Amino acid sequence: MVADRPVHIVIFRRNLLRARVLVSVAVAATIALGATGCEFMSPAQTTEIKQITDGVNVTTGKIDVRNAVLISDDGESARFVGTIVNNAERDDITLSIEVGGDTQTVEVPANTHVDLAQTTGATAQGSAEDQGSSTQGTTAGTGTDVVFDQADAKPGALVKVYFSYSGAEGVSASVPVLTSAQEEYATLAPTGSPEPTSEVTLPVETPESTPTETPSGN
């Protein structure tokens, strides 16, 4: 029996070493799984596309609205600024833009983009990754002026703007209100029409008539 002890000791040591290896593998697998789970829970920053423009982007049907902002200095009237892209190859689209119950329309030909009140400094086309040099492959159309007289658009606020056209489900977006204090929007704030001045009618003074003296007879 004494002679069998070294054999049992060797077997025991081998089993102990094997157990340690299995435990190490299990721990390593757990750590790797935890790290993988973190990667799934936290998306890589390189895949996150951030909007680098002042305004917001929204899509309804074949229409893309890019870098939509409202420009207002008085908090009442506001000019809509942005790029409207019609991705339809054949259909011209009349887009309705509604702010505070007031609705304006913009004609956008097929496969065309129009810049609304666009200036050189205000890049309404959005990021280069999103738009490209020709604005999503569309050609440039004739822009127009879209002004809302009663927008109730206080500078610094977000205003609900509703975009819709026939044949597509409308969509709303919270559009930021900026002022003409920024250089690229310096000439875009709508100017209110001056209030009419009431005419003041002054009374016309008539000269008092001098009584005529009748000569008395002798």
| pLDDT at residue 119 in the model | 46
Residue 91 and residue 62 in contact, taking contact as beta carbons nearer than 8 Å? yes
Residue 154 and residue 75 in contact, taking contact as beta carbons nearer than 8 Å? yes
Sign of CA dihedral 183, 186, 187, 188: positive
List the structure tokens of 38.
């973190």
Q: Which of 66, 63, 70 is nearest to 99 (CA)?
A: 70
How far is it, in rounded angstroms, from Cα 98 to Cα 100?
7
| pLDDT at residue 7 in the model | 55
How far is it, in rounded angstroms, from Cα 4 to Cα 183?
94
SS in 3 state form for 160-172?
A: EEEEECCCCCCEE
| pLDDT at residue 175 in the model | 97
| 56-185 carries CATH number 2.60.40 | yes
Q: Which DSSP category does 173 fall into? A: E
Q: pLDDT digit of tens for each residue in the chain (218 aa)?
A: 555 555 555 555 666 566 665 656 565 556 555 555 554 455 554 444 444 468 999 999 999 999 999 999 999 999 999 999 999 999 999 999 999 889 999 999 999 999 997 643 343 334 333 443 356 678 888 888 999 998 999 999 999 999 999 999 999 999 999 999 989 899 999 986 444 444 444 555 555 555 555 555 54
Q: Which of 72, 86, 58, 65 is nearest to 173 (CA)?
A: 58
How far is it, in rounded angstroms, from Cα 74 to Cα 172?
24
How far is it, in rounded angstroms, from Cα 63 to Cα 65?
7
Element (H, E) at 97: strand 93-99
| pLDDT at residue 177 in the model | 97
